[in-house]
Structure 1
Amino acid sequence: MAGKRVTLKDIAERTNYTINTVSRALKDKEDIALETRKKIQRLAKEMGYIENSVAGSLRSGYSKTIAVIVGDISNPHFGIIVKEIEKAARKHRYTIIVLNTEDREELEESAIRTALSKNVDGIIICPSQRSEDNIWFLQRTGVPFVLIGRRFKSIPEFDYVICDDEKGGYLATKYLLDTGHKRILFLNGPLHISSAEERYEGYKKALQEYGVPLDPQLVREPGLIQSETRHLIRSLIEEGVDFTGVFAFNDVIAWETIYMLQKLGYGVPKDYSVIGFDNINARIFSPSPLTSISNSKSKMSRRALDILLKKINESQAGKSGGYREVVDTRLVVRDSTRNSH
């Protein structure tokens, strides 16, 4: 039979302090003497006391919990973002719950409903963007939320923190052009995703600036599911499609491209130069150091949390936000590219 849950009353009886004193000591309130706080906290730990967060949220109106909803937690890009949000949230005594959508609209709706059923104070979400319906639903609930990594440019009601995707696409393509590549394969994400659309705009802008015609044959969407990129690269090589540079929507697609090119007997960067997006190598070691666009994941994550906390406080005060932030991007050159002149 399970043991009885330890309560504040139990600790008060053992310490001869009032329940209010015990409660404030466990919250580390400074109006309780430090020695008393430590004594009560030590005994509470020995007794196995766990705070009843549900009861606390009912009293305060806050659950001190934030939901983070992302498309694919197996992608290190999202893993790093979640970690940065969690680190920042911890400083404010918030806990996060993470929900994965696989970039599918129905799973996104389920994730939002699950988060709301947990009585979260707010949500940080990277939307699937197959439609706006789920985000409009979230807007109608009145629960504060911030989009991260993607935005709906035509809907100012949705607050966001993104990186400068168009500039990133431009910098990657310009670098390949500067190093002698005229036939640049762009492996993009689905165009209903704002970041994919804006990186494509950057790609086109650089080609136009250098007088290189846009070849639709060199713009492909392998999808965000692993293995699709490998099949596409094999097909392009077998069909004899001419390209010497590759700009990939993200680092995972770029690494898959390198893997398949090498498996087919080609060298990177000897035969092909490859650039990714997300700069995962800054956090995770890889035997294939990748030239990539850095999108300041830590800055995006911290700003998204700061804005969400501000919105949580503002919503309690009957105020509204209006936050739209674009974080700068930059090129980081590593071993997957070389000058082909």
Structure 2
Amino acid sequence: MAAPVRKVRLRDIAEATGFSINTVSHALKGLPDISAATRAVIRAKAREMGYIADSVAGSLRSGRTRTVAVILGDMANPHFGLWVRAIETEAFAAGYSTLVMNTDEDEAVERAAIRTAAGKRVDGLILCPAQQTRDNLALVRQTGIPYVLIGRRFEDDSSPYVVPDDVRSGFLATRHLLERRCRRILMLNGPAWISSARERQLGYCHALDEAGLPCDPNLIRHSGVKSGQARAALEQVLSEQLPFDGILAFSDLMALEAMACLRQHGRDYQALPLAGFDDILSGLDLPVDLSSVRAHESVATRAFHNLAAQMEHNPGSPVQTVLDVVLIEHRSKA
């Protein structure tokens, strides 16, 4: 059995380069008291020897872990995966690692994730809240960890957040379907307790009102946002034989599920105008027609930048950001 490889220490690099342990330590940290030439020699030798800094020891000395927790609702949704990628890109560039946790839109799981983040002593937290109650928001505040809510917000609350303009999102998507001659638009919405669902519904009703059409409550159906739940809501509509000539879905994932459901029922889903939110098709090459609304800039990137300002103790940095939105039309190449 091979003997375990011994971890390279600062002492080993010092002996290999002829510099003191203190000089080696300062060079690897990039401190200004070490010349550029000396720093280059020491870092080259450290790479050659396979040195890996002890982040745990460093965090004990500095009181910081250089880690950000990212707590999201359903990682089966590509939209959340795109958020994670954007956050990790920005975090890495700023010298942070990430701890990503999935809540499955369950408040108990979310609560456990927040406690895990606090136990790991993360420096910051980005949370897309499940929102059934405000209990977990209170828990986040109790931890004292800098945080930013992403994608959802609480009314009459001072918490920092980054969200797209969801009222305008709902308006733009509905107006687009109206321009495609839809008059009975089925809205497959998320749960009413989710802020983005409520706000998109306001935009939907506003666009219908502007067009002189009623906002028929029977055409607004709420479902869970996890994979497969939108299909059940549409199955119910089809069983009722409720007429509709377009679909506005709470998310692109729900819109894709609607297409699959319609095809299973022998409906020509390609002839039915559909619109969603999140623009996941920009990252996926799928042969489908689906219009979608997204923020002009990355919600996730802005969320990390706003959090970083808090973590760096920037006075007055906790802010509430609403990003402008744009409609994107995806046309099938098939």
1:332 aligns with 2:328: yes
Say yes or no: does 1:323 pair with 2:325: no
Percent identity between the two aligned chains = 43
Q: Tell me what 1:233 maps to.
A: 234
User: Which residue is equivalent to 2:305?
Assistant: 306
CA distance in 1, matches of 2:318, 2:69: 20
The 8 Å contact of residues 306 and 318 in structure 2, kept in 1 or not, is answered as no
Q: Which residue of 2 aligns with 1:169?
A: 170
Q: Could you tell me whether the CA contact under 8 Å between 2:270 and 2:289 is conserved in 1? A: no
Task: Give, in angstroms, the shift of residue 35 of structure 1.
Answer: 4.0
- Aligned residue for 1:247, secondary structure, equals strand
In the alignment, the residues of structure 1 paired with residue 25 and residue 289 of structure 2 have an alpha-carbon distance, to the nearest angstrom, of 52
What residue in structure 2 maps to residue 145 of structure 1? 147
Which stretch shows the higher mean deviation, 193-202 or 133-142? Answer: 133-142
Maintained 8 Å contact 2:125/2:148: yes
Q: CA deviation at 1:30?
A: 5.5
Instruction: Please report how far the alpha carbon of residue 166 of structure 1 lies from its aligned counterpart in structure 2 after TM superposition.
Output: 0.6
Q: Structure 1: which 5+ residue stretches go unaligned?
A: 337-341
Partner in structure 2 of residue 273 of structure 1 = 273
1:92-241 equivalence runs, <5 A: 92-156=94-158, 158-241=159-242
Is 1:246 paired with 2:242?
Answer: no
In structure 2, C-alpha distance between the alignment counterparts of 1:307 and 1:67, rounded to whole Å: 14
Counterpart residue type for residue 134 of structure 1 = N
Q: Quote how far apart the aligned CAs of 1:134 are.
A: 1.0
The aligned amino acid for 1:312 is: M
CA distance in 1, matches of 2:266, 2:153: 40
- One-letter amino acid of the counterpart of residue 309, structure 1: A
> For residues 231-275 of structure 1, what are the alpha-carbon distances to aligned partners after superposition, in whole Å with 9 as ceiling and x for unaligned?
3323322321100100000000000111121222222342x1111
Deviation at residue 197 of structure 1 after TM alignment: 0.7
The AA in structure 1 aligned to 2:44 is: R
| 1:1-58 alpha-carbon deviations (Å, 9 max, x no partner) | 6443322122112211112221222234455344433332232233332111111112
Matches within 5 A, 1:4-43: 4-29=6-31, 31-43=33-45
What is the letter of the counterpart of residue 335 of structure 1? R
1:78 correspondence with 2:74: no
Counterpart secondary structure, 1:314: coil
Contact 1:6-1:48 at 8 Å conserved across structures: yes
Q: Could you list the per-position Cα deviations for residues 282-317 of structure 1 after superposition, in whole angstroms to 9, with x for gaps in the alignment?
A: 122112242111224x532222111111111227xx
**Alignment-mate amino acid for residue 93 of structure 1:** G
TM-score, normalising length from structure 2? 0.93
Tell me the residue number matched to 1:339.
none
Instruction: Work out the CA distance in 1 between the residues paired with 2:155 and 2:21.
Output: 52
Gaps (5+ residues) in structure 2?
none
- TM-score (ref. length: structure 1): 0.91
* 1:177-211: CA deviation from partner (whole Å, max 9, x where unpaired): 22211110000011111111100111111111112
The answer to whether residue 45 in structure 2 is matched with residue 46 in structure 1 is no
CA separation in 2, counterparts of 1:33 and 1:322?
38
**CA–CA distance in 2 between the matches of 1:259 and 1:71?**
23
The aligned length equals 330
Deviates more, 1:213-222 or 1:228-237: 228-237
Matched, 1:291 2:291: yes
1:269–1:335 contact (8 Å) kept in structure 2: no
What is the CA–CA distance in structure 1 between the aligned matches of 2:13 and 2:324, rounded to whole Å?
Answer: 52
